[in-house]
Amino acid sequence: MVAFIVRRLLAMIPTLFFVSIATFIIIQLPPGDFLTSLQALAASSGSGADKAAMDNLRHQYGLDQPKYVRYVKWIAGFPRGDFGYSFEWKRPVRELIADRLGLTLLLSALSLVLMWLVALPVGIYSATHKYSGMDNLLTAGAFLGLSVPDFLLGLIYVAVGIFGFRASVTGLFSPKIAEAPWSAVKVVDLANHLFWPALILSLGGMTQLIRILRGSMLEVTGQQFIKTARAKGLSERVVIHRHAVRVAINPLVSVMGMQLPQLISGATILGIVLSLPTTGPMFIRALTSQDMYLAGTFLLFLALMLMLGNLLSDIALAWVDPRIRYQ
């Protein structure tokens, strides 16, 4: 198992290297740089900026150096935890992104947990009560869940929230207690503001897991060893939970790896819709203002999160299915 993990970690290094180069190239793609977009903004509001001052700033920010030099400087800072400087916020990138990446991670992790907590019992129920009214209802619901994208669900949630309940649905805290010191009320408020986004985010993946579990349970329960277990006189509960579910769960674990990108994508866009302080809002702002180191660091960390998530799901798969470990 250790050898397997080490092998996978080593394989990640070259990919990470290429990913960082790709990130840098993408961030460089827009014509001009932060200062030209600043200049355009200044020009549109009537105040012309002085060219010498611009050149001075450009030199100060290192924007006059060749691209590869800037890349090497940027990437060399990573081991030291120096991710460059945000032009727009006039602060080091590290100070800006830590909370936001953390919240994105928290939101994604919460919805992953929620997804599994709901999908396991429901999927098993669906398979053991095949074609029952409830199962058919769940099937229809699954297709619906897959068809309404999370950002639309977010919009609908906002609409229902402000239209029906007049409640505060966006942000992390209700406006009244946002500034208040930590208390039980504030924690409940935070949980309330995190639960619904997490649920919205998990819905697509949840329906997917339910369908897969149902399918794989149906396949497994048709096999001989289940018949044997029943013939031995084991209770139905033991047959299902001890024998069938253990085998049927494998495809779920392997699908987890491809759900992570969806979760991270979803958390980004849902953060924008619900104005949560996740990566989303700041990332999009950084992109449009060409605050390149901030945007690039976000993109790189999101990719890193995805790669690590994939690694974890592969490890989980190797753990539940020993055949993979020894390949």
Partner 1 sequence: MSVVDKPSSRLALQDGAAAGEIAAAARAGQVEARSGLTRRQLTWRRFVRSRAAVIGGLVVLAFYVTALCANILAPYGVDQRFIDYLYVPPQGLHFDLRTGLYIYGIRKKIDPDTLLTTFSADPGRRIPVRFLVPGSAYTIAGPFAARLHLFGVTDTKMGVFLLGTDRQGRDMLSRILIGSQMSLTIGLVGVFLSLIIGSVLGVVSGFYGGRVDEIVQRLIEVIRSFPAIPLWMALTAALPQHWPPERVYFAITVILSVIGWTWLARQLRGKVLALREEEFVTAARVMGASDARIIFKHLLPQVFGHIVVISTLAMPGMILAETALSFLNLGLRPPLTSWGVLLQEAQNLESLRNYPWLLTPAAFISLAVLAFNFFGDGLRDAADPHTA
Contacts of 316 (CB under 8 A, 6+ apart): 253, 256
Which of 198, 220 has the CB closer to partner 1? 220
49, 254, 277, 320: which one binds partner 1 (CB under 8 A)? 254
- Residue count, binding to partner 1 (CB under 8 A): 73
Say how far apart CA 162 and CA 181 lie, in whole Å: 26
Q: How far apart are CA 261 and CA 281, in angstroms?
A: 18
Rounded to whole angstroms, how far apart are CA atoms 299 and 294? 9
The residue within the footprint of partner 1, chosen from 1, 162, 180, 312 (CB under 8 A), is 162
Compare residues 60 and 159 and give the one whose CB is closer to partner 1: 159
Helices 93-128 and 133-147, axial angle in degrees (round to 10) = 150
Distance set, CA 17 to CA 12, 81, 151 (Å)? 9, 17, 32
Site string for partner 1, 98-137 (x = CB under 8 A): ----------------------------------------
198 vs 292 by CB, closer to partner 1: 292
Nearer to partner 1, 21 or 188 (CB): 21
Near partner 1 by CB under 8 A: residue from 107, 119, 203, 287: 287
Q: Are 240 and 225 in contact (CB under 8 A)?
A: no
What is the C-alpha to C-alpha distance for residues 151 and 243, in angstroms, rounded to an integer? 39
Exactly one of 38, 245, 276, 303 binds partner 1 (CB under 8 A); that residue is: 303
Cβ neighbours of residue 171 under 8 Å, at least 6 residues apart? Answer: 178, 193, 274, 275, 276, 277
CA dihedral of residues 214, 194, 284, 44 (deg, nearest 10) = 140
Q: Which residues contact 103 (CB under 8 A, 6 or more apart)?
A: 172, 276, 277, 278
Nearer to partner 1, 111 or 216 (CB): 216
110 vs 206, beta carbon nearer partner 1: 206
Site string for partner 1, 64-103 (x = CB under 8 A): ----------------------------------------
b/e map 53-62, b = 16+ CB within 10 Å = ebeebbeebe
Work out which of 75, 115, 124, 264 binds partner 1, going by CB under 8 A.
264
300/77 Cα distance (integer angstroms) = 13
CB closer to partner 1 out of 146 and 194: 146
Cβ atoms 127, 217 nearer than 8 A? yes
Q: Which of 53, 178 has the CB closer to partner 1? A: 178
Is residue 149 a contact residue for partner 1 (CB under 8 A)?
Answer: yes
Interface stretch with partner 1, choices 51-59, 190-198, 205-213, 231-239 (CB under 8 A): 205-213
> For the chain, what's the residue count?
327
**By CB under 8 A, which span of 24-32, 51-59, 69-77, 190-198 interacts with partner 1?**
24-32
By CB under 8 A, the residues from 207 to 236 that bind partner 1 are 208-209, 211-212, 214-219, 221-223
CB of 118 to partner 1, least distance (A): 15
Binder to partner 1 among 266, 282, 291, 297 (CB under 8 A)?
266
